[in-house]
Amino acid sequence: MPRRDRKGEEAPARLRNGEPNLGDLIARRHPALDRLRRHGTREHDDVHRHHSWLPLSVADASSEVRHARLGAVEEGPLQVAPVANGITLIDTGMAGQRELNAVYVIAAVEPTLIETGPGADGPVVLRALERLGISAGELAHVVVTHIHIDHAGGAGALLDRFPRANVWVHEVGARHLEDPARLVASTARTYGPERMRAFYGETLPVPADRIRSIADGDRIDLGDRRLHVLHTPGHASHHVSLLDDASDAMFTGEAIGSHLPWAGCFRPALPPPEADVEIALMSIERMRAAGPRILLTSHYGPVAPADQAFDRGAERIRAWSETVRRELTGRPTRDPDEIVPVLVDQARAEYETDSGRPFDMGRYDAIGSIRMNAQGLARYWRKRWEREEGDPSPQPS
């Protein structure tokens, strides 16, 4: 497999002998992934126009996960907790709420930050890094699972404070870190400029010479441990997950959806324009095959055992997808807003079954919405039906 190091001196997207890498082979085996590659970067420009999200988790987590939550250290707004061997969670306090958005620090020879959170949460992340003893000259890597502003919006500002660090991102999303103008504009169209600034803060560009592109099968060398890159689209076409070889922990971003740790509840994260159920389920199985012991989600926190989390995430994706398919059958142009009440009832039943407590709609939909899932899934089914009308070959499900 191609290998990439901190300095980016060896970073081929394909093997030098001209052979395809693993991502190419998978795309050729699976029509859905091949379709995604043909789709290209066209719709990234408005990815945040439709994206505003939330988290997921497992009720009967392992003792390690329970210890991580019970052992959290609070100091004013700061909350950090060990979650795996050499890995610490930072709660960014996004939108003024706990257990909503997480970033992670890997205490490697070359210290590494996974995700940045939005620019508005930068002061919390900086304070946590200082608390963990990582100085301005020590942070070596920032790795983001995808470019959505709640995951990567703080990258530009953080690099101003950490001159040694580079940012690693999937090759398709790299240009949006260098020039985030379209991401910012599409977010402003969704929230309004004032609300966007209050909620996400400022999104600064990342200098081109500090961006390192990654692709499926690459490894990021942290000195005494490595991150193995898996391309895991479905939520976004440029989404990656990262397996840490020292802990067998996998950073999943939003590839399995969101995890609500206070309720032991999972929910999908399938916003337009790139939501794809087939591809999301393929990604989950690829992640499972990598054999992680624990999952570290961005929304929110550690989840174990991994197999159970994969099962529950996939089950919710299938269930919500089927509901939207059923509601659109015979009425494919139906307004997704008409489907929202049906999904609200479904979400309530799932939440109350999982948690044993009354549905907390405000917290469940904190920064994302059931409506976004309705829009993403409605678009997915319409596109799929259009393809099937022109292609009689069977589609995977």
In a domain, 366, yes or no: no
Two tokens, residue 2: 């191609």
Three-state DSSP class for 336? helix
Please say whether the dihedral angle defined by the alpha carbons of residues 221, 8, 91 and 73, taken in this order, is positive or negative. Answer: positive
Number of domains in the chain: 1
Cβ atoms of 102 and 90 closer than 8 Å: yes
Neighbours of 285 (CB within 10 A): 10
The whole domain housing 187 covers 3-311
pTM of the model: 0.81
pLDDT at 42: 36
Q: How far is CA 198 from CA 118, 191, 257, in A?
A: 11, 10, 25
Q: How far is CA 316 from CA 58, 144, 273, 336, 395, in A?
A: 13, 25, 19, 18, 20
pLDDT at 26: 26
Which residue intervals of the chain are DSSP H helices? 22-29, 31-39, 63-70, 122-131, 149-152, 155-161, 174-178, 181-191, 193-200, 277-289, 306-328, 340-355, 361-364, 370-390
pLDDT tens-digit series, residues 53-81: 223 232 233 333 333 332 333 445 689 99
In a domain, 229, yes or no: yes
pLDDT at 193: 85
pLDDT at 190: 64
In a domain, 171, yes or no: yes
Terminal-to-terminal C-alpha distance of the chain = 30
Pairs from 286-291 (Cβ < 8 Å, separation ≥ 24): 286/26, 286/230, 286/232, 287/230, 287/232, 287/241, 287/250, 287/252, 287/255, 287/256, 290/228, 290/230, 290/243, 290/250, 291/248
Three-state DSSP class for 56? strand
| DSSP single-letter state for residue 305 | S
Dump the DSSP string for 176-210: HHH-THHHHHHHHHHH-HHHHHHHH---PPPPGGG
In a domain, 293, yes or no: yes
The CA distance from 307 to 366, in Å, is 27
Three-state DSSP class for 5? coil
In a domain, 133, yes or no: yes
In a domain, 305, yes or no: yes
Three-state DSSP class for 375? helix
CA dihedral 89, 3, 205, 279 (to 10 degrees): -70
The CA distance from 22 to 167, in Å, is 23
Two tokens, residue 3: 């290998």
The CA distance from 162 to 302, in Å, is 27
Three-state DSSP class for 225? coil
Across the chain, which has 397 residues, the per-10-residue mean pLDDT values are 41 30 29 37 38 30 33 58 97 90 97 97 96 95 95 95 97 94 80 79 95 97 98 96 98 96 94 92 98 97 97 98 97 95 97 95 82 93 90 44
In a domain, 325, yes or no: no
Instruction: Give phi and psi for 243, each to the nearest 5.
Output: -105, 120
pLDDT at 57: 30
In a domain, 339, yes or no: no
Q: Taking Cα atoms as reference points, which of 133, 144, 55, 139 lies closest to residue 94?
A: 55
The CA distance from 133 to 149, in Å, is 26
pLDDT at 76: 55
Cβ atoms of 90 and 82 closer than 8 Å: no
166-170/141-143 β-pairing = parallel
The CATH number for 108's domain is 3.60.15.10
pLDDT at 173: 93
CA 294 to chain centre: 16
